């Protein structure tokens, strides 16, 4: 999605649009490597305003992802919603320090994004925000009991005796130790 800056009027510009995964290579690549799948297009609502030589963009994006619970491996889906605000500039403003000298700062250090003055590409920003919103350890529910490390049973569905047995074996080995001595 390229926004032409000359289409932003004095009252600003509101845009509703969606990206398919093919238009978002960072997310497409993630889907290929991680255990997740984007199941809806990325729906965006964006507002752009021109302020002097700057373009301020604020908006939100949402997408549903299918993930696996990090404890019990159950499938789950999660709606990610992100909000963001960015300022795009054609040229970086001069920054003067207290002594009157010019300070060299990158666009990133100033919290600005450079663009060519004509078109703003919002896909980088939106992809970045969505990547940050993906939970690193998704859970089917806060209290998920996970899988038994011994028998692999899903402890949300059934109980197993592995834990008891482990404790018994532990005592048994202590007894053996005493006998050997």
Residues that bind Zn ion (CB under 5 A): 69, 71-72, 74, 140, 144, 148, 150-151, 160, 162
In the complex with Zn ion, the residue whose CB is nearer, 103 or 169, is: 169
In the complex with Zn ion, the residue whose CB is nearer, 87 or 154, is: 154
Radius of gyration of the chain (CA): 26
Per DSSP, 118 falls in state S
CB of 160 to Zn ion, least distance (A): 3
In the complex with Zn ion, the residue whose CB is nearer, 62 or 71, is: 71
Scan for tokens 């997740």, then name that residue: 36
Helix (H, G, I), strand (E, B) or coil at 124: helix
CB of 74 to Zn ion, least distance (A): 5
CB of 147 to Zn ion, least distance (A): 8
CB of 86 to Zn ion, least distance (A): 35
Q: Apex CA 165: angle with CA 152 and CA 156, to 5°?
A: 35
In whole angstroms, give the CA distance from residue 145 to residue 116: 52
In whole angstroms, give the CA distance from residue 62 to residue 130: 8
In the complex with Zn ion, the residue whose CB is nearer, 15 or 160, is: 160
């Amino acid at each position: 999605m390229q926004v032409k800056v000359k289409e932003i009027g004095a009252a600003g510009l509101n845009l509703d649009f969606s990206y398919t995964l093919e238009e978002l290579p960072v997310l497409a690549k993630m889907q290929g490597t991680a255990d997740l799948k984007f199941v809806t297009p990325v729906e965006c609502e964006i507002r752009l305003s021109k302020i002097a030589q700057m373009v301020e963009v604020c908006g939100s994006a949402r997408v549903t992802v299918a993930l696996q619970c990090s404890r019990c491996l159950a499938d789950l889906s999660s709606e990610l919603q992100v909000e963001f605000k960015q300022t795009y500039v054609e040229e970086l403003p001069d920054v003067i320090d207290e002594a009157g000298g010019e300070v060299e700062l990158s666009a990133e250090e100033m919290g600005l994004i450079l663009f060519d003055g004509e078109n703003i590409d919002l896909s980088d920003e939106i992809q970045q925000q969505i990547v940050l919103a993906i939970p690193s350890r998704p859970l089917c529910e806060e209290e998920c009991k996970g899988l038994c490390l011994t028998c692999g049973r899903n402890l949300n569905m059934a109980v197993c005796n592995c834990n008891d047995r482990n404790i018994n074996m532990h005592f048994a080995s202590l007894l053996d130790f005493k006998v050997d001595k």
